[in-house]
Structure 1
Amino acid sequence: MSCCLWTTALRTEDRFVIDGTDGRFHLKSMPELNRPEESDDSLPQEPVEAPSSRPWLIWLIGAAACGALVLVVTHLTEEEEFLRLLNQIDVSWLGLALLLQSGTYVLQGIVWRVVVSAGGQGLSLGKSFELSLAMLFVDQALPSGGISGVAVVSGALSRLGMPRAVVASAVLVDVALYHLAYASCMAVALGVTLYHSYLPGWVNAAMLVFLLVELGVVAFLIYLPSGGLIWVKTRLQRFTKLTRLLQWVEHAPAGSFKNHRVLLLAFVMHALIFVLDAATIWVAARALGVTSSLGGVFASFMVSNLFRTIGIIPGGLGTFETASVMALRSIGMPLSVGLSATLLFRGLSFWLPMIPGLICSRRLLRNRRD
């Protein structure tokens, strides 16, 4: 599932669609022709494209990193070992891994249903599942720090007729509780790694710093709509795009974080998404005939997710795989099993949902004239 670091703001006056006709995946702004009065109800947006004149170059770098990882591991491991693992894959365990990954989209959909219901709006389970797939696809296809996925959801909710204040509040609560769940799971993983001495000190230090940063992000988002942390917002005024985004979020009601039931449910759902992702890796290793420590696999997944989050390549392609293999190796999993389990997980969580995610994105953001 995707990470939302709010680094880009988008124009209010534009609607947008997913455009892949030129070989690129990007958001293409389109003025709303039929109902211009609704232009204030969606997240301010401007076109978000790959930050390069060669949009596929960054993908090629990630693919090259994955290829280099496979070559290194296969060089260090007997080729017969990979053939043995391939021949002994338990399909029933793979089916369970697929089911766990499907559960992550259901849980994210439940979050959207819960946060919009706090504003008196309804959202079907099917539509919320579609939102989750679309958000995942855009976040993975566009290296925009997660803001593209938020933009897709904002635009889709606005097209469903939800008021701007409700949409802003829903997005704000979802992002804040995601970061809180991320920080909480990272804290658990850090405790596991320190107790078992799985990882070197510099990795533990990186986890601690990231944990503190995440808590700072949560505090900022919570106080943002109530007018708190004025001094922080003043210092951010020099960042034009970020300023426009913050101005839009301030349309969220001051009481967005007062419904404790909504906050608890959103936090639990986001935390469970991390747990299901880690469980998918454990199940993938089990499908290969290896049983590992649940706590160790969870800690290794959180470390891998950390490097995916801070990486510049879409979806952490290459960086996640490398960190995952190394982290799984540190808990005693053989290199061949760690690589195979990681590739199985990425196939189920990254590549498999891309096509349905693209379809859902185009459906959600289709111009009213189409």
Structure 2
Amino acid sequence: MQSSPRRTQAWQGASWLLGLISLAALAGVVARRGDIERFARLLHALAPGWLVLGLVLQAGTYACVALAWDLGLRQNGIHRPVRELLALALGKLFVDQSVPVGGVGGTAFVVATLHRHGVPHGACLGTLVLNLLGQYLAYLVAAGGVTGSLWLAHQAHAWMLGITGAFVLVCVAAPLVMVLVLRLGRRLPRSLLRLPGMAPLARTLADVPAGMLRKRRLPAIAALNLALIALDAATLWAMLHALGLPAPFRHALPGYLLALMVTTVAPIPMGLGAFEATGVAALTSQGVPIEGALAATLLLRGYTTWLPMLPGWLVAHRALRRMR
């Protein structure tokens, strides 16, 4: 009975190790091909104004998440303060990073917290499912637009197309499975329930209110998720400018989005190493110096992952203490 948890822990440990090895390998490549002194000079000459702009842009990403959840809750006739949803978004980020199980930990945290505030369990799940569908839709639109622009500019490399293909496959398959389970409900064939993970998914989605997919909030939620992608890419653009590298936004967007794609499909917690390597490769392929590409990608990681960890821990700790 204990073999499954042990296998899970072993898999997570191996994933973290693989991520750290990838990050060390990237540092080795940059040290060999780049100029360490230039890398240090770039970081030493950071422009404070652009760093502040990065904070503002990241605040906008949490506003997008909160507004998307608000739309989903309102669809179920439920109103919660947006500031409460903003705090919840921070807490979810901390739980997702601390318990890297594909976002399941953070999702469970959001459902439990909203339920404690009086939101019905089904409405919580419905809100998160609707947001996931909007997120995948935004991913597909962004991937299509960025790949098309790279192709027209003759900058689409084979490795970029491979990553995009795998990413699109995930973004199409995951929503189709969710929609299939929601549509069929208890009429789902037993042969499908035998597939790995299908039975727990069916039990979870059984509480989602009927008619969720017939509502018309999905395009607005997708637009908010698309804005979130743009704000994260704009943060990378601001970090390049902070380093004194005035690269255009059209270079920062593929750099961020391709790194996000790898993080989505790679079996590594937070895409550690893979995110940085892909971001650096995408930026350097567009003419950004390798030292600047690495510095900008690491700064972006600091803004999107490490900087929010402390406030996220405070929110999650307070919420979990109240639940007890």
Compute the TM-score of the two structures, normalised by the length of structure 2: 0.90
Describe the superposition over 1:69-91 as per-residue Cα deviations: whole angstroms up to 9, x where unpaired.
Answer: 22321232223312321232111
Whole-Å Cα distance in 2 between the matches of residues 242 and 142 of structure 1?
A: 22
Do the aligned partners of 1:199 and 1:327 also contact (CA within 8 Å) in 2?
Answer: no
For residues 101-250 of structure 1, the aligned pairs below 5 Å read 101-227=58-184, 234-239=190-195, 241-250=197-206
- Over aligned residue pairs, what C-alpha RMSD do you find? 2.4
Distance 2:165 2:13 in 1: 34
| Structure 1 residue aligned with 2:319 | 364
Q: In 2 relative to 1, CA 316–225 (structure 1 residues): closer, same or farther, beyond 3 Å?
A: same
Q: Show structure 1 runs of 5+ residues with no match.
A: 1-46
Cα deviations by residue, 1:122-157 (Å, 9 ceiling, x for unpaired): 111221011111111122222211211111111111
**Residue 281 of structure 2 aligns with which residue?**
326
| Contact 1:140-1:315 within 8 A present in 2 as well | yes
Structure 1: distance between partners of 2:121 and 2:11 = 36
Cα distance in structure 2, aligned partners of 1:212 and 1:56? 27
Q: Is the 8 A contact 2:65 2:224 kept in 1?
A: yes
Indicate if the aligned counterparts of 1:112 and 1:128 stay in contact, CA closer than 8 A. yes
- AA of the residue aligned to 1:366: R
State the shift of 1:362 in Å: 2.0
Cα deviation, 1:148-186, whole Å, max 9, x if unaligned, reads 111111111111111122122112111111111111111
**Alignment correspondent of 1:42:** none
Corresponding residue to 2:270 among 309, 315, 318 = 315
CA contact (8 A) 1:194 1:204 kept: no
Q: What amino acid is aligned across from residue 56 of structure 2 in structure 1?
A: L
Of structures 1 and 2, the one with the larger relative CO (CA 8 A, separation 6+) is: 2
Q: Which amino acid aligns with 1:251?
A: D
Residue matched to 2:39: 82
Shift of 1:244: 2.2
* Among 286, 296, 300, the residue aligned to 2:251: 296
* CA distance 1:317–1:229, change in 2 (3 Å): farther
Classify 1:239/1:208 alpha carbon distance in 2 versus 1 (closer, same or farther; 3 Å). Answer: closer
Answer yes or no: is 1:259 the counterpart of 2:215: yes
Instruction: Give the TM-score normalised by structure 1.
Output: 0.80
Give the secondary-structure state (helix, strand or coil) at the position aligned to 1:198.
Answer: coil
Partner residue in 2 for 1:274? 229
Find the aligned partners of 2:197 and 2:164 in 1 and give their Cα distance: 29
Question: Which shows bigger deviation, 218-227 or 81-90?
Answer: 218-227
What is the deviation of 1:54? 8.9
Q: Does 1:285 align with 2:240?
A: yes
2: CA distance, partners of 1:52 / 1:325: 30
Separation in structure 2 between the aligned mates of residue 240 and residue 199 of structure 1, nearest angstrom: 35
Deviation digits for residues 290-313 of structure 1 (CA, Å, limit 9, x no counterpart): 122322321221111111112222
Letter paired with 1:321: E
Tell me the secondary structure at the aligned position of residue 39 of structure 2: helix
**Distance between the aligned counterparts of 2:11 and 2:219, measured in 1?**
43
Can you give the 5+ residue segments of structure 2 that lack an aligned partner in the other structure? none
Q: 1:283 to 1:50 in 2, by over 3 A?
A: farther
Partner Cα distance (1:68, 1:201) in 2: 22
Q: 1:208-249, CA deviations, whole angstroms, 9 ceiling, x for partnerless residues?
A: 342143123223333432327966x64441246541232221
Counterpart secondary structure, 2:246: coil
1:252 maps to a residue whose letter is V
The answer to whether the aligner puts 1:355 opposite 2:310 as a matched pair is yes
Matches within 5 A, 1:56-95: 58-95=15-52
Question: In 2, Cα distance between the equivalents of 1:356 and 1:273?
Answer: 20
- Structure 2 counterpart SS, 1:225: helix
Q: Per residue, is there more helix in 1 or in 2?
A: 2
